[in-house]
Structure 1
């Protein structure tokens, strides 16, 4: 941590953020002291807890904190007086409330998750200190809401009035960058000789960046930038950009296959690819250019309408993917152009509406349940010790156990962060002792108090601007504020201060121990869970038990890819896991299309498709138990047999609908060789099956 602190090079914007936050915190403290509120430090600490450089993020976080605080306070008011004479039952009720709220929080992939978490541990913060005197529960709850609201109002006002930094311009800059990245990726994808590593890095970087837009766009309704209220439109744009990734992957794969089979790209096709690359590089919607390109692709693809050879089928499939690429890119441009001109086409937004909703996001119910269970067990253990020993500071330890089990639950392994928080809390106690015994006794008046706080708070506030030092800065600030407990008059009860500090450490320690046994998972295990979730979905698609719109299904698979990416820095051995994610998106889409179109095929082909779908489902079920299981070679043989059946059909729309996913699935399963499509050749000669690429299937 200290290496990160020494390596930090704060900019002017970082110092401005620290100064604004400090001003808001002392303003909240001044108002709380002036009105003689019960716990003025709650208002001051709240400012730092909700602080964020972007005003929209701060405002939405603040709103959810207020709502969560009110819900948690009401829950405490209901439970404590009712169950105060049954300590064990009251402890169980509060623990279950904290755990249940945390469970809901972990399932929500939006900033609203903060509301559920706050509702949970606020009930513990309000309820446990009032167990010995339940008559004060309502006053305590009201005070908590008042002081939290005061801190939030001060933080929000200062953030929005003093040099505000809005979310909108940040999003705009990132989208411009992503559109440029997409153009570069398209150029690389159109070249069969492009560096595979470069393509992989570009795809994964864009997938990870797109994931950030979902969270940032939610905050737009809480500020006055030019994109305020455009959350739905921006999330539609996010879905459209995400949809480009598997299409570009498929385009590059078909081009590589064509070059591998025929030796080169036909000149007419190369000219079309070059013009599409130029078209995409403009980054703006041009209807006439788009239609002209569609017409050229259609004219070129018409030559292969009766194709019965592998190279012709590859070009037929490639033309289909180029049409889709142009359509998706046009939607991206129309959405982005419309957002900048405040005239977003409703039909395009509606087209991407389903895939922009929460059901397209991954949810891990198992991790959410274990997170809630951790909070329940940690809180109950501390409460049990408190009941047995009648420890005067037991209420502090109980509420810190609830808080500790909650605030780090978003991490795969929260234990190192909790250990760090414990260390920082111990360090904060030392700072509190210095302030309490050496500085505050000589303070007379609020201006001197601000001057005494300024050096420490301004310096630590800067640390909150960096992800590497945020946890240290926040812990050292909030703990100092809460343990110091500044009030209208100075009082130094060293024994009470030390007891409170020890209780806080004990609560966090119990939360860390329980988390290590119940909730903690390694990064490797987390990546495996995400990959297995994809396989479970693909198996369900093949069986027909997962009924989602096509783009929702693709978005969910890509969302998991975005979740895998940041974990790879800690688990480099799983790099190949991410490389195979894009082919698996292609497999899922092909299986989805085959299941959808099988009802239109004749009975013989439909029966064969059913066999392929069952075998694909069985394969992905096997992979969930055997991570490195290879697909049964029979699957490839079955697909080749169906290809021969479909190729023999006279040209109809059904023929094309079946050929497109069959070719894509065949390429995903086997990247080398070509199927024998001539029935006579098949009877005379049975080729050796090329090796299956188990890492992509």
Structure 2
């Protein structure tokens, strides 16, 4: 018996020691000093501060201030400041509109819901047009109507009180989070932007050298993958500008360098031909590769930007000498070689301009500022706005028809989710994540509200009880896979628990709230799958059609075009195509190649337009060139015939002006650009045959 007992004790002791050994490893993985845990703990502290001040000031629904903190919370101080500012601005605008609507339609719920739907649809559509946190601020202005009037629809006399209470809780949450973030977090976005800009300059340089060396000439994957990264860098510039006044002052000059870097990346994609290169092109490619390699090595040092610029400038000067040599060629080489030289010179100019942008960021020189445009998808804005309008109207009609006491909660959930998910890349998938997060929040809120909270008393213990649930959700937001679900969980949990002073524990009311919240997220999912569902392929085709239309606009309309500004808009469209077709790599690759070809066609047309403005351009050649440009509409009707016509016109220009030395230079440039345009249209007939503004 004693032997059996001893054996059991040994076995039990071994198991306990094994379990105790796990504790240090778990603790080591739970490093509370990592940036992720710093963000989580700051957010919990700010939420507790907002909730406490809400109790002291006796604001209506103090837990809403904590919810604002959890929604605005971000690891970046710049994101906290920018998101907070635009959230407050949107809430102020939405609160004012809510007061006006309640004053006009308090006695007619149907008209109020119609006006609410129209305002939400307008703001949802606007959110698709604006960029960065301005978009989220516009969405907030739309759905604040429901939040500001929640609880006052049955009692219109309290509408002003509810609206002001909503504004107060949002301002309280934003201010608490901003103060905590400012006191406990570092401003890291400027340094991250510096490092990211330098890294992407090096990455584009590697794409250039790979293309120019003849390796993987048809492999577009590296260039295609860098386009969205470069526009993500623009988002980081927005955060750095919010954190640093110096970066904000130089943002325009820096954005010029980023636009030039995108142009250089696109220029590198032109090297997709196979076979041996002409000796002149081989020398030019070798010279550019050498300069880019030297620049990349110089960028590794702190003060190497000027050295890198000097290397690229010297290479560009050498390429100009090769252009003079290429003018003496005969036959087909007289057109084909200068085309490649022109592209290579543009490549060097763009890479040098990117280095200038990096130098201005580091030196403090602001430089001139261009006006850059971004793609605004008005059709997507119309579709999303109409969907939000129909969702509110249909949801409101169901509420009125059924006389459901908690139907207003369904609208309170439906409005923000329709507006916010419209800005997501895959709204239907995001709605599924919101459903998952809400489903998890239901049992969590029950445990907290009916098992934990009745056992405690006092604000410190309240925070101790709420903190684990907040921490779990906040930590999940640091994982991209669970970010959307965790945000839905945090908002639903906070609202369903409804921490107030004094607390009331009404199980029936909680069940009604759960039904309203679940109905809201489920109806949101149905809206995105049934009402005007998003079609990524059609969206990408529409954007590609805009690129093609802008290319043809250069041919049809004379004017002074800024190449970098024009290309920047097309680059943004390329990034939108890449994001829209992320789930279809084969089609993404095809449409990106077509879009890049369109940009190169635009470059050729810009070279023609710039050359035609020269005073000594021959009148006969001018009229012939303008005639072929005016006929650009036929390029999309018969691309193959258009390619042959452009090539024939290029050869005719060269032969007709071969005896005039003063005209040979500009006419040769136009002929080369027409031949370049001919090859692009012939290689990508499907792109140029797109239905206009498809």
What's the TM-score once normalised by structure 1's chain length? 0.86
Structure 2 CA distance for aligned equivalents of residues 81 and 546 of structure 1: 51
> What is the SS of the residue equivalent to 1:115?
helix
C-alpha change, 1:68 and 1:297, in structure 2 (3 Å) is same
Match in the other structure for 1:136: 158
1:185 deviates by 1.7
> What is the SS of the residue equivalent to 2:453?
helix
C-alpha change, 1:300 and 1:246, in structure 2 (3 Å) is same
Specify which of 433, 449, 454 is matched with residue 436 of structure 1: 449
Match in the other structure for 1:166: 188
Structure 2 CA distance for aligned equivalents of residues 490 and 266 of structure 1: 79
Match in the other structure for 1:509: 522
Match in the other structure for 1:277: 292
Specify which of 391, 412, 436 is matched with residue 399 of structure 1: 412
Is 1:643 aligned with 2:643?
Answer: no
Specify which of 424, 446, 471 is matched with residue 458 of structure 1: 471
Specify which of 578, 589, 592 is matched with residue 603 of structure 2: 589
Specify which of 448, 454, 462 is matched with residue 461 of structure 2: 448
C-alpha change, 1:277 and 1:413, in structure 2 (3 Å) is closer
Structure 1 CA distance for aligned equivalents of residues 458 and 156 of structure 2: 35
- Report if aligned partners of 2:409, 2:513 keep a CA contact under 8 Å in 1: yes
1:127 deviates by 2.4
1:37 deviates by 1.3
C-alpha change, 1:516 and 1:246, in structure 2 (3 Å) is same
> What is the SS of the residue equivalent to 1:392?
coil
C-alpha change, 1:434 and 1:295, in structure 2 (3 Å) is closer
- Report if aligned partners of 2:437, 2:487 keep a CA contact under 8 Å in 1: no
Match in the other structure for 1:328: 350
C-alpha change, 1:693 and 1:116, in structure 2 (3 Å) is closer
1:615 deviates by 5.6
Q: How does 1:308-387 map to 2 (within 5 A)?
A: 308-344=330-366, 346=367, 349-350=368-369, 353-354=370-371, 357=372, 359=373, 361-387=374-400
What's the TM-score once normalised by structure 2's chain length? 0.86
- Report if aligned partners of 1:14, 1:462 keep a CA contact under 8 Å in 2: yes
> What is the SS of the residue equivalent to 2:215?
coil
C-alpha change, 1:129 and 1:30, in structure 2 (3 Å) is same
Listed one character per residue, the Cα deviations across residues 134-190 of structure 1 (whole Å, up to 9, x for unaligned) are 221111111111111111111112222213252112211211111111221221122
- Report if aligned partners of 1:69, 1:145 keep a CA contact under 8 Å in 2: yes
Is 1:195 aligned with 2:194?
Answer: no
Is 1:14 aligned with 2:14?
Answer: no
- Report if aligned partners of 1:599, 1:606 keep a CA contact under 8 Å in 2: no
1:392 deviates by 1.6
C-alpha change, 1:412 and 1:533, in structure 2 (3 Å) is farther
C-alpha change, 1:666 and 1:279, in structure 2 (3 Å) is farther
Match in the other structure for 2:66: 44
1:271 deviates by 5.0
Match in the other structure for 2:641: 634
| Equivalent residue pairs, number | 643
- Report if aligned partners of 2:43, 2:177 keep a CA contact under 8 Å in 1: yes
> What is the SS of the residue equivalent to 2:154?
coil
> What is the SS of the residue equivalent to 2:573?
helix
Listed one character per residue, the Cα deviations across residues 604-650 of structure 1 (whole Å, up to 9, x for unaligned) are 54554456445653444x5xxxxxxxx53322221222111222223
Structure 2 CA distance for aligned equivalents of residues 418 and 289 of structure 1: 51
1:365 deviates by 0.7
1:462 deviates by 0.9
Structure 2 CA distance for aligned equivalents of residues 271 and 375 of structure 1: 56
Specify which of 139, 142, 146 is matched with residue 117 of structure 1: 139
Structure 2 CA distance for aligned equivalents of residues 231 and 546 of structure 1: 27
Match in the other structure for 1:540: 553
Structure 2 CA distance for aligned equivalents of residues 210 and 336 of structure 1: 14
- Report if aligned partners of 1:530, 1:560 keep a CA contact under 8 Å in 2: yes
Match in the other structure for 1:492: 505
Which stretch of structure 1 is more off in the superposition, 203-212 or 608-617? 608-617
Match in the other structure for 2:669: 657
Match in the other structure for 1:213: 233
1:226 deviates by 6.0
Specify which of 130, 134, 153 is matched with residue 108 of structure 1: 130
Is 1:559 aligned with 2:572?
Answer: yes
C-alpha change, 1:48 and 1:538, in structure 2 (3 Å) is same
**Pairwise CA RMSD of aligned residues?**
2.6
Which stretch of structure 1 is more off in the superposition, 48-57 or 532-541? 532-541
Is 1:408 aligned with 2:430?
Answer: no
- Report if aligned partners of 1:432, 1:484 keep a CA contact under 8 Å in 2: yes
C-alpha change, 1:537 and 1:473, in structure 2 (3 Å) is same
- Report if aligned partners of 2:46, 2:69 keep a CA contact under 8 Å in 1: yes
Which stretch of structure 1 is more off in the superposition, 91-100 or 411-420? 411-420
Is 1:231 aligned with 2:251?
Answer: yes
Match in the other structure for 2:679: 667
